[in-house]
Chains A and B, each alone.
Chain A
Amino acid sequence: MSKVDMHMILKKNTEFLPQKPYNPLCFDLSVRNDLCMLDLRINANDTLALNAISKSLKGLNLPLNPFTSVQNTIYSILWLSTDQWLIVASEKQSEELTQSLNQALSAFDYFSLCEVSHMRSVFRLVGRQAENIIHKGGSLDTTLPYFKDGFVKRMSFAEIPAIVHFLSCQKEEQMIDLYVFRSYANYVFEWLNQTGHKDAAL
């Protein structure tokens, strides 16, 4: 790499998405900007590969049950489909995590690991009304017996593709991460500000 003129180093766009809601909302809304996300696709029956991945994730196994997630203090892994997971960590972990996984998977030829940190924006919804906001956005069955903390599902939210991750389902302390494609983030932010207005609480 040639020497880079410091003033020309590209900077992240921090103004693409507002950080604070402009309306008084019936839940707490924050934007999670500091995440590293990797999209992993691999055959879930490939035990050797799964073991290798587990080792590189400091012993955390990929969740194999549908609609579940696992997490430790460093990583969260969201089940997306029978052969797809989203690995989420803090931005600081990005390089180490990517290297570690690439190294672990280097012995295998049938997998896909894509860096997708910029692909999605993540909204965190906290409070008693958080689940109701999700229900305003789209169809999600929260009466299922396996709806519990860690529940994750892809859904159509406000008519756009989204992933919802229920970190806590407890009525008083609901905490939900809503993953949407970055290009929709401003639309979703606007949608949350209007539909989540405190006057619109159920």
Chain B
Amino acid sequence: MSAKPYRLHSNLSSDLCGTHVNRNKVCNFTFDGKNYTGFEGDTLASALFANGVRVVGRSFKYHRPRGVLCLGSEEPNALVEVGEKGTHSPNLRATEVNLYDGMVARSQNRWPSVDFDIGHVNDFLSPLFPAGFYYKTFMWPASLWMHYEHIIRRAAGLGTAPTTQDSAFYEHFHQHCDLLVIGGGVAGLVSAYAAAKSGSHVILVDEQAQLGGCSDYFNAQIDDLDHNLWIKMIISELRTLSNCTVLTNTTAVGLYMHRFALLNQIVSHTHQAEGFSPKARLWKVRAKNIILATGALERPLSFANNDRPGVMLSSALRGYLRRYDVVAGQAGAIFTNNDNAYETAFILKEAGVNIKAVIDLRKQIPHVLRKRAESLNIEVFSGYAIVDVKTVSMGKKIDHISIARILQSGRISQLSSLNVDFVGMSGGFNPAVHLFCHVGGKVQFDKKINSFKPKNDIPHITSVGACNGVFSLNNIIKEAFNTGENVAMQASLYKKVTLKKPKKIEASTNSTLAKQWFIPSIRKYNDGAKHFLDFQNDVTIRDIELAVREGYESVEHTKRYTTMGMATDQGKIGNINALGILADSLDIDIEKSLTTTFRPPFTPLPFGTIAGTKAKTLFQAIRQTDIAHWHEKNTIDFEPVGQWRRPYTYRQAHQSRFDSIQEEVKNVRENVGLLDASTLGKIDIKGPDAVTFLNRIYSNSFSNLKVGRCRYGLMLNDNGFIIDDGVTAKLADNHYIVHTTSGGADSIAAMMEFWLQTEWRDLRVFITPVTDQYAQIVIAGPKSRDVLNACSSDIRFGADDFAYMDVKQGHLNGVPARVYRISFSGELSYEIAVPAAYGLSLWNTLLECGRSYDIKPYGTEALHILRAEKGYIVVGDETDGTVIPKDVGLGSMVSKKKPDFIGKHSLLLMDDLNRDNRKQLVGLFTEDPNEVLPDGVHAVNEVKKAPPMKMIGHVTSSYFSPTLKRSIAMALIENGRKRMGERIAFPFDDKIVHARIVDHIFYDKKGERQNV
């Protein structure tokens, strides 16, 4: 024996035991602060086994000590945290965590330690915690619920969230294929091989580090060779095919409609991946066909105290031996209802492990098994069961098991005990139908295997092998070849080839298994001896029976009442047993109880994997104008507008934000300001029917718009509500350029295209979104004309030559330019569009030309104050998706002459849109001129001591106006226009502010400043 008593260093050939570990590479790691060593290739679970660590966690509700139960992703108990505290990853299954040198791992859900957990008191108080206890126990007194909740949350839960940013890099990868094969066991390998050899693009994935599934821990012969050699040959051939992508360490976590699959590939096994090497890669695969070869999960048996550390699934025992050369203890017993577990007993015994007995629920055992057991000196107890597991060290170590004969009446007799410290249990195998169910597949009960299997009723998704309820190796290989070939025939690149099919297969076969959901115990199981069904959620047989007694008869109701099959387990381990108990309790056939809903993800995946590259600097796609770098050098204040980041104000280091904004506004009113308006949406419209198109898109008419002129337009949706606005310029006959809001450009272009391609196919119009083609700069203020005159241009900017709402095309400083005389500030103003790459140069030139006129750039907040002083609306501020033109004083922009436009019918026919007392846009003056109302604050007629109070509207925009030297606000108030001068109240933040309703145009009502 080695220094590690549970690592065997077997005398058997290394091909058979410890195949996954490299004994030449030692990995140091810590678990719960203690130092251990393992080998490269170990999982954390196998390394803990090798070091004799049996208790790896505490159960969810009762805080019972728990050990490793399984070999793979179905593990319910061994959930651990990996990584230094704060940057750790919680809830990783130790059975799937590949060991690396320097690993730091911890157990979860215990305090102060996994060996001594205060929460274990729950186990002794378990009669107080039946299923649904939280619905009952804490109903009274309600005032104490907050305290209960705190305690419950501390005691329960799965792990803790990390507190620092995950520094690892993650990414997504999209791929299409003819065939996605999920599962790299024999069935998956053969299916992939058959399809790939026939020309299909195949992706083969398996959650384990090595292909072959469970083939390395069962014995069989193919064409007189060890079956593993034949499998290795298939694997190596698959790896040479360029049309086959093989992904290991990759879990299919979800299957969705249209054969869309999510695969979580673990790229780096260390906790903190270096640099840009991704820690995990989320594959998003769209497959024409999917073959599910996900195998089967072994079922536990529901005997008393079946959750004790050392009680494991039978197949896991031999898996740990064959792969990692580790065993769970010194002496063991196997408890089974089927033939398969005998293989475990034989393999372990042959490797030198002391297997004392096989306890078989069946009275009739195949002669060949009994004979072989006898030859290996393993006692066989047929018709017997384990009726209790006795432990020492507060349930942390098995001392002995009690076994007894099971009588037909269900009672027990001939009680005896067996001194073992580990148990392998096998209740048969459940096809892993989870992925099939993710996509809506239905399952059917197969009495032969005593479990549910897929109905295979989803087109282009086929289950093969054990996950289809087929367990004979011969049949699995035959089925996989057929399915792979059939799928390949549907692919466009199909080529007929001769496949190397095996001629002779010898493997053990399974005889009938015993169907027994409940294993009786010495005591009544309601009296302390818990028979666990769902290990992760601490659901026992008693809980299911209680749920039934309390009326929860539907499997979905029972699931929610008991928490059975919830959380990360998703019914992998205890589901069928629970369904069997439920069916027995209801005295119905299990076929009628059906299964709970298995939901993605099959195994949990970190948030980092879901986010992919969308983190840190790539969190969101950011749009920049050509002047962006200048802005970044000249301000730190930006605000998001759609995907753009626009300068909020150009604040100097010594300035407050408020002062900076006020100065920018004043400068536009008194001198001249410069605004980067490149973000405005721009759509080029051309075609003989362009004006008809515009007349239908906008609520106002464009019929009489002349070439060289601009017009403001309002865009409505089908319901008559305002969705966008902007200025349209007529550049030539049948040629217009439409401006939209910055955030709305893409959706408006898509909407226009939608109408043209669906309802208005007769219109001869083409639209081309050209937002990014142009940099567009606003120069606004009484001195703006002077600045432009200082530039070199063939455009004349004088009042007589260039009237308000004109558009002119020419050159500015040697570059083609389009200039609009439009204003969103109420001042003399021009908007200049040049090809985008010239934007920065134009910006700098205007600043230079305007230096003697005190030109200064202004940001979006000054822009908003300027437009608010003038009473101009902003879509999204003054509108909220329920506002019609009349509400904001733009009723005149709804054409009465046009035969049709989007929203017209709603405006005409909907009574609600024609009410007189709708909320209408008004201005507000607060009684205290220095009090600036918050945006969105609600208005009431009458202030009461406490809500509810009838709300009559809300503030849409609110600022301190440097021009008026007081606060101004715009608001939508019920029947507002008829309430001019009225005093209304705004209760907020424990105070009440009163304001008077006034006209919403606060400044230059006649428009004299912009028309100069």
B-contacting residues of A (Cβ < 8 Å)?
1-5, 8-13, 15-16, 23, 39, 41-42, 83, 109-112, 114-120, 132, 135-145, 158-161, 181-187, 190-191, 194-195, 197, 199-200, 202
Question: In the bound complex, how far is the Cα of B177 from the Cα of A142, in angstroms?
Answer: 9
Provide the residues of chain B in CB contact with A23, threshold 8 Å.
276
Provide the residues of chain B in CB contact with A142, threshold 8 Å.
176
Contact among A5, A112, A186 with B766 in the assembled complex (CB-CB below 8 Å): A112
Given A109-B734, A138-B174, A139-B284, A12 contacting B201 (CB threshold 8 A) = no
Question: Do residues A183 and B625 form an inter-chain contact, with CB atoms below 8 A?
Answer: yes
Provide the residues of chain A in CB contact with B849, threshold 8 Å.
8
Question: In the bound complex, how far is the Cα of B687 from the Cα of A110, in angstroms?
Answer: 5
A28 to chain B, nearest CB (A): 17
Question: Do residues A160 and B621 form an inter-chain contact, with CB atoms below 8 A?
Answer: yes
Whether B914 is near chain A, meaning CB under 8 Å from some CB there, is: no
Stretch at the interface among B150-158, B165-173, B902-910, B981-989: B165-173
Whether B878 is near chain A, meaning CB under 8 Å from some CB there, is: no
Contact among A10, A136, A186 with B834 in the assembled complex (CB-CB below 8 Å): A10
Question: In the bound complex, how far is the Cα of B276 from the Cα of A117, in angstroms?
Answer: 33
B598 to chain A, nearest CB (A): 26
Provide the residues of chain B in CB contact with A109, threshold 8 Å.
687-688, 734, 764
Provide the residues of chain A in CB contact with B276, threshold 8 Å.
23, 194-195, 197, 199-200
Main secondary structure of the interface of B (DSSP, over half): mixed
Provide the residues of chain B in CB contact with A83, threshold 8 Å.
766
Question: In the bound complex, how far is the Cα of B169 from the Cα of A145, in angstroms?
Answer: 34
Question: In the bound complex, how far is the Cα of B623 from the Cα of A160, in angstroms?
Answer: 10
Provide the residues of chain A in CB contact with B174, threshold 8 Å.
135-140
Question: In the bound complex, how far is the Cα of B621 from the Cα of A190, in angstroms?
Answer: 10
Question: Do residues B837 and A194 form an inter-chain contact, with CB atoms below 8 A?
Answer: no
Give 9 nearest A-B pairs by CB, closest first: A197-B276, A112-B766, A1-B794, A183-B623, A9-B814, A118-B836, A199-B277, A41-B766, A119-B773
B365 to chain A, nearest CB (A): 51
- Residue on A nearest B288 in the bound complex, by CB: A143
Question: Do residues A182 and B838 form an inter-chain contact, with CB atoms below 8 A?
Answer: no
Question: Do residues B176 and A111 form an inter-chain contact, with CB atoms below 8 A?
Answer: no
Question: Do residues A13 and B838 form an inter-chain contact, with CB atoms below 8 A?
Answer: yes
Question: In the bound complex, how far is the Cα of B173 from the Cα of A187, in angstroms?
Answer: 19
11 contacts between A and B (CB under 8 A): A10-B834, A10-B845, A12-B841, A23-B276, A118-B774, A118-B837, A120-B772, A158-B618, A183-B644, A194-B618, A200-B277
Provide the residues of chain A in CB contact with B767, threshold 8 Å.
112
- Residue on A nearest B174 in the bound complex, by CB: A139
Provide the residues of chain A in CB contact with B815, threshold 8 Å.
9-10
Contact among A8, A15, A136 with B171 in the assembled complex (CB-CB below 8 Å): A136
Given A109-B688, A109-B734, A4 contacting B792 (CB threshold 8 A) = yes
- Residue on A nearest B268 in the bound complex, by CB: A199
Question: In the bound complex, how far is the Cα of B813 from the Cα of A197, in angstroms?
Answer: 42
In the complex, how many residues of chain B place their beta carbon closer than 8 angstroms to a beta carbon of chain A?
68
Provide the residues of chain A in CB contact with B284, threshold 8 Å.
139
Provide the residues of chain B in CB contact with A3, threshold 8 Å.
792
Provide the residues of chain A in CB contact with B628, threshold 8 Å.
16, 186
Whether B613 is near chain A, meaning CB under 8 Å from some CB there, is: yes
Whether B770 is near chain A, meaning CB under 8 Å from some CB there, is: yes
Provide the residues of chain B in CB contact with A16, threshold 8 Å.
624, 626, 628-629, 837, 840
Question: In the bound complex, how far is the Cα of B791 from the Cα of A5, in angstroms?
Answer: 9
Provide the residues of chain B in CB contact with A145, threshold 8 Å.
492-493
A123 to chain B, nearest CB (A): 15
Contact among A11, A139, A144, A191 with B613 in the assembled complex (CB-CB below 8 Å): A191
Provide the residues of chain B in CB contact with A10, threshold 8 Å.
812-815, 834, 838, 841-842, 845
Given A13-B626, A13-B841, A200-B276, A158 contacting B734 (CB threshold 8 A) = no
A53 to chain B, nearest CB (A): 15
A81 to chain B, nearest CB (A): 10
Given A109-B688, A112-B684, A191-B618, A13 contacting B770 (CB threshold 8 A) = no
- Residue on B nearest A114 in the bound complex, by CB: B768
Question: In the bound complex, how far is the Cα of B686 from the Cα of A119, in angstroms?
Answer: 18
Question: Do residues A136 and B286 form an inter-chain contact, with CB atoms below 8 A?
Answer: no
Question: Do residues A2 and B618 form an inter-chain contact, with CB atoms below 8 A?
Answer: no
- Contacts A83-B766, A111-B686 supplied; 19 other A-B pairs, CB < 8 Å: A2-B793, A8-B792, A16-B629, A39-B768, A109-B764, A110-B766, A112-B767, A114-B684, A119-B772, A119-B773, A135-B175, A139-B174, A139-B284, A161-B746, A183-B772, A187-B622, A190-B617, A191-B618, A199-B277
Question: In the bound complex, how far is the Cα of B177 from the Cα of A141, in angstroms?
Answer: 8
Question: Do residues B173 and A136 form an inter-chain contact, with CB atoms below 8 A?
Answer: yes
B198 to chain A, nearest CB (A): 15
Question: In the bound complex, how far is the Cα of B614 from the Cα of A159, in angstroms?
Answer: 10
Whether B810 is near chain A, meaning CB under 8 Å from some CB there, is: yes
Provide the residues of chain B in CB contact with A4, threshold 8 Å.
792, 811, 813-814
Question: Do residues A159 and B813 form an inter-chain contact, with CB atoms below 8 A?
Answer: no
Question: Do residues A139 and B764 form an inter-chain contact, with CB atoms below 8 A?
Answer: no
Given A13-B838, A187-B623, A116 contacting B810 (CB threshold 8 A) = no
Question: Do residues A186 and B624 form an inter-chain contact, with CB atoms below 8 A?
Answer: yes
Whether B857 is near chain A, meaning CB under 8 Å from some CB there, is: no
Provide the residues of chain A in CB contact with B626, threshold 8 Å.
13, 16, 182
Provide the residues of chain B in CB contact with A117, threshold 8 Å.
773, 835
Question: Do residues A15 and B629 form an inter-chain contact, with CB atoms below 8 A?
Answer: yes
Provide the residues of chain B in CB contact with A41, threshold 8 Å.
686, 766, 768
Question: Do residues B768 and A112 form an inter-chain contact, with CB atoms below 8 A?
Answer: yes
Question: In the bound complex, how far is the Cα of B278 from the Cα of A202, in angstroms?
Answer: 10
Question: Do residues A199 and B274 form an inter-chain contact, with CB atoms below 8 A?
Answer: yes
Chain B residues 620 to 643 lying within 8 A of chain A, measured CB to CB, are: 621-626, 628-629
Question: In the bound complex, how far is the Cα of B840 from the Cα of A13, in angstroms?
Answer: 6
Question: In the bound complex, how far is the Cα of B626 from the Cα of A181, in angstroms?
Answer: 12
- Residue on A nearest B277 in the bound complex, by CB: A199
- Residue on A nearest B841 in the bound complex, by CB: A10
A160 to chain B, nearest CB (A): 5
Provide the residues of chain A in CB contact with B622, threshold 8 Å.
184, 186-187
Interface centre among B178, B493, B764, B840 (most CB of A within 10 A): B840
Question: In the bound complex, how far is the Cα of B768 from the Cα of A42, in angstroms?
Answer: 12
Per-residue A-contact encoding for B830-867, CB less than 8 Å = 1, 0 else: 00001111111110010001000000000000000000
Whether B459 is near chain A, meaning CB under 8 Å from some CB there, is: no
Question: In the bound complex, how far is the Cα of B614 from the Cα of A145, in angstroms?
Answer: 32
A165 to chain B, nearest CB (A): 18
Question: Do residues A195 and B773 form an inter-chain contact, with CB atoms below 8 A?
Answer: no
Provide the residues of chain B in CB contact with A9, threshold 8 Å.
813-815
Provide the residues of chain A in CB contact with B177, threshold 8 Å.
143
Question: In the bound complex, how far is the Cα of B773 from the Cα of A113, in angstroms?
Answer: 13
Whether B275 is near chain A, meaning CB under 8 Å from some CB there, is: yes
Question: Do residues B768 and A194 form an inter-chain contact, with CB atoms below 8 A?
Answer: no
